[in-house]
Amino acid sequence: MLPVIVVHGGAGRIGKERAEGSCRGVQEAVLAGYRILQRGGSALDAVEEAVVAMEDNPMYNAGCGSVLNELGGVEMDAIIMDGKTLASGAVSAVKGIANPIRLSRLVMEKTEHLCLTAEGASRFAKAMGVPEVEEESLKTDYSRKRWVENLAPGSNPVESQMGKMGTVGAVAIDSQGNVASATSTGGMLNKMVGRVGDTPCVGCGAYADNLFGAASPTGHGEAIMKVTLCRLILFHMEQGMSPEKAADTALDYMKTRVRGIGGVVVVNSSGDWAARFTSDQMAWAAVKNDQLHYGLYKGESFTLPVTST
């Protein structure tokens, strides 16, 4: 039964010292979104609120806690998509904003464009009255430490990225049957200045269509873009696959075709959902029928009644 919401906190290998916090954070985020759905709110509002909760949590590579680029700066990407109208809004390489997902929502609702980038996104944020924040407030000791480690000759930022933390995202279907998807990230560790990954690209970093469902991914952005992962998953659901089968099929294709590792959360138009990944771990949580489900390792799923959380 509807409504349903599913979130992820990034695919990779999460150390023991961060595992508990990652799992707790996705539970808090999914409940923040579910409370909106319980009150009859929209899927769009629910996924936005869930992602904001993770952007504000320094455990994740989004908002506060974003990884740093090659110069030690923060450049963030985000996207939100409405399955009812196929409207979407995104920002890329944006700086000095605490919640890029909120700015993405404004791009969708207040402009005729789908994506604004860098200085243009910042100018739009100012015009909309979005508060600026000091860049240092978005950095953590953990992100600084990893930036320094990956400046060393012979380091592998891509492998390190998958070894620690990743993009955050959410999908939902509300009581009216409308679906939505939202994704936010600090991008790739020690990336070139101006690098933009999959997140702000429709069909790659998010996709939502009331006819079939919604998806939000995490993983190596260049690989996700090569296979247009989210739209590929919805294509498989169009052909009759369940969310779990569609996700597994698309992730397996990305792994074999372009050697990409990652994960996704998916919901279909009937409220069936999945949280699937080819990485070692992915922190995820879902709520359906007032039951909170969550996990970190493959094949792991714990369940609690929402009233006890």
C-alpha distances in Å from residue 298, one per residue of 26, 101, 273: 16, 28, 16
- Rounded Cα distance, 79 and 180, in Å: 11
Q: Give the C-alpha separation, 166 to 60, whole Å.
A: 7
DSSP 218-244: EE-HHHHHHHTHHHHHHHHHHTT--HH
Q: Residues 130, 106: contact at Cβ < 8 Å?
A: yes
Alpha carbon distance 68, 86 (integer Å): 32
| Contact indicator for 92, 117 with CB cutoff of 8 Å | yes
Active site residue 167: yes
Strands in the chain per DSSP E: 4-12, 76-82, 88-94, 115-117, 168-173, 179-185, 207-209, 213-219, 262-268, 273-277, 281-288, 291-297, 302-305
Instruction: Single out the catalytic residue among 167, 185, 228, 278.
Output: 167
Backbone angles phi, psi at 119, to 5 degrees: -60, -40
Q: Rounded CA gap, 129 and 164, in Å?
A: 34
How many C-beta neighbours within 10 Å does residue 130 have?
19
Say which residues have a Cβ less than 8 Å from residue 100's Cβ, sequence separation at least 6: 55, 62, 63, 76, 77, 78, 91, 94, 184
| Spatial separation of the C-alpha atoms in residues 287 and 172, rounded to whole Å | 10
Kindly list the catalytic residues: 167
